Amino acid sequence: MLFRDSAAAVAAECLSGSLFFRLTEQFVHVHGHRPSASEVRSWERSIPVLANALNDAGLGRVEVLLEYGLPLNSKRADAVLAGVHPTTGLPSYVVVELKQWSSAEPDDDDPSLCRIDAYARAVLNPVDQVRGYCEYLVSFNGALAEHPDRISGAAYLHNATRFGVSGLFAAEQNEYGQLFVGERRGEFIDYLRSKLGAESGAAAADELVNGKIGPSRQLMAVAAQEVREREQFVLLDEQQVAYRTVLNAVRRAKQSDHKEVVVVTGGPGTGKSVIALSLLGELYRQGITALHATGSNSFTTTMRKVAGARKREVQGLFKYFNSFMTTERNSLDVLICDEAHRIRETSANRYTPASNRTGKPQIDELIDAARVPVFLLDEHQVVRPGEMGTVAEIKEAAARKGLHCRLVSLDSQFRCGGSDAYLRWVIRLLGLEPGGPVAWEPDGKMRLLLADSPQEMEAYLQERRAQGYGARMSAGYCWKWTKKVPPGQALPADVTVGEWQRPWNVYGDRAVGGAPPAALWATDPAGFGQVGCVYTAQGFEYDWSGVIIGPDLVWRGDHWVTDRTQSKDPVFKKSVPDADVDRLIRNTYKVLLTRGMVGTVVYSTDAETREKLRELIGAAVPKAAVETAGVGGR
């Protein structure tokens, strides 16, 4: 939080003007940059309104926590009021969302969204916004986990009339979400008096601030049902070994105040994420505090969508690696780090508050956060400079802390049609293991075809889709990517090979012209027609995969040549050594070539490379595919 004091003190500081200076000063300290002019303006206009309402209600001793940060989350509530309930005498809390809106109307399609003139797009109804904050605090703050009835939520639109925002009252209202307008200020004051008494709220505020951070038992029970019982995962062989290894480590940790690290390695489709979800379900069933984290926006978004499809609160259990910069040591029993090859050198970026820029390695933050940190990774999927998730680095970090590290290797192949042969062929093809490329020998599990053009590739994939299969096209990052598309315009066709042109997948979290947001490209059927890059494809699978090998990786004579000048990936700055770029480009194509469950169609933009692939792959896309599907340029 940025500031805490009694309502009387807040009102006095507002009157003197010193509060907004102190808020700005603290904001710079916490966030590392100055607040925007609009944020400061909202403080100046809204906080005095809240402080005056509290004092007029006779609640000057209630504690006001301004810009209260939600645990393990970057979101902030405008204010949390802490006091004593006038009837029960127990701690009582009110989360208040303050809006300067004078008018707003509900979205035509969804009453949980609303539209105001100041924003081009729909925003969340403030009732749903404050309700979400209350639910999240109950789920992650120990002071509220056992007492969910002690918190309430109110959205106060202090410039609005009932007529100006009448449509917003259509949203469901309950204890966690009530809507009030400035025109009826008396109703808001009566509401505050019904939740808070005149006594000092300092002790209640202390209890909230010092509450244990982590998923509540109630949330874990919901998650156990949603994750474990919703879909029973069958774990086989090494998967079962990995699963039992983690549960045994948790048992030892509980019995003897013990801490250890578990690393699970495996290639694409060896079931790492299935193990992660199975562990979450079982741990929650046992009442053990655990969270899931990844370094991928696409992967985390999809895990939230899959595991929390019916229970929105379950989605909060899926975090990012940089969520644990300030987490108290061993505050969790288990932290499951999926896609751990995406671990960065540090969690800090340009938005990181100065107070959090400790220089501490991200790997250390993740190990410190839980008694049993679990890392699931594939070392051949490191595709960006600065990604540090290897077995050696994790073991070294554990050794520095004097911790035992247990390693489980998954051998069985579930992606790529369960074809170990295909995975080995890809690794040999790209020179990620010694021995050089070998000819593909069909094994009856995975189909591998070479296309002479992207038109052939796309046409063949469309035929497969017509037969009920899923399919996606992806490519090396060898074409510019238009990140900003004006509203109402179609995605530009950035990926161009001769007359064939297609757009990259959407950049960002909103759909564009029928194309899904980036995080859902691999799972939404509307993702076909855009070309995915490694960052949106990584971690996912689809039945048929079409892969365009761009000019950044070409075959010359008897070996591969990587050409960094052909890559448009902005992460390959001049400071990245050529050897690292070579490894990362090869790893990129390893990721792209191992997304298909049924088959893979490969095309190279380079003629000599196509000849080498023809020699190695043998089977070509049937020539009838283009005529049948009628695919051409755009």
* SS3 letters across 106-162: ECCCCCCEEECCCCCCCEECHHHHHHHHHHHHHHHEHHHHCCHHHEEEEEEECCCCC
pLDDT at residue 465 in the model: 92
Q: What percent of the chain has pLDDT over 90?
A: 50
Q: For position 632, what pLDDT does the model report?
A: 44
pLDDT tens string 168-207: 998 889 999 999 999 999 999 999 999 999 999 999 999 9
Q: Could you tell me the CA-to-CA distances from 257 to 250, 289, 372, 599 in Å, in that order?
A: 10, 15, 11, 48
List C-alpha distances in Å: 139 to 154, 227, 289: 18, 16, 11
> How do residues 306-349 score in pLDDT, each as one tens digit?
665 556 667 778 888 888 888 888 989 999 998 888 888 888 76
Structure confidence at residue 215 (pLDDT)? 67
- Share above pLDDT 70 across residues of the chain, in percent, rounded to a whole number: 88
Q: What is the mean pLDDT of residues 8-19?
A: 94
Task: Please give the residue that has the higher pLDDT: either 76 or 236.
Answer: 76
Is 541 within 8 Å of 269 (Cβ atoms)?
A: yes
Q: For 530-568, write each residue's pLDDT tens digit.
A: 999 998 888 778 889 999 999 999 999 999 999 999 999
- pLDDT band at 73, cuts 50/70/90? low
pLDDT tens readout for residues 577-602: 899 899 999 999 999 999 888 899 99
Is the CB of residue 457 less than 8 Å from the CB of residue 528? Answer: no
Please state at what angle helix 272-285 crosses helix 297-307, rounded to 10 degrees: 50
Q: What is the rounded average pLDDT of the residues 7-28?
A: 93
Cα 138 from Cα 190, distance rounded (Å):
24
pTM of the predicted structure, to 2 decimals: 0.57
Token pair for residue 513? Answer: 């012209």
Q: Tell me the C-alpha distance between 394 and 459, whole Å.
A: 44
Q: How far apart are CA 373 and CA 292, in angstroms?
A: 10
Question: In whole angstroms, what is the distance from residue 465 CA to residue 219 CA?
Answer: 39
- CA 364 – CA 397 distance, rounded (Å): 7
State pLDDT tens for residues 371-408: 999 999 887 777 777 777 889 999 999 999 999 999 98
3-state secondary structure of 520: helix
Q: What is the pLDDT of residues 87-106, one digit of tens each?
A: 999 999 999 999 999 999 98
The residue among 317, 228, 229 whose CA lies nearest residue 281 is: 228
State pLDDT tens for residues 453-504: 999 999 999 999 999 888 999 999 999 999 888 887 889 999 999 999 999 9
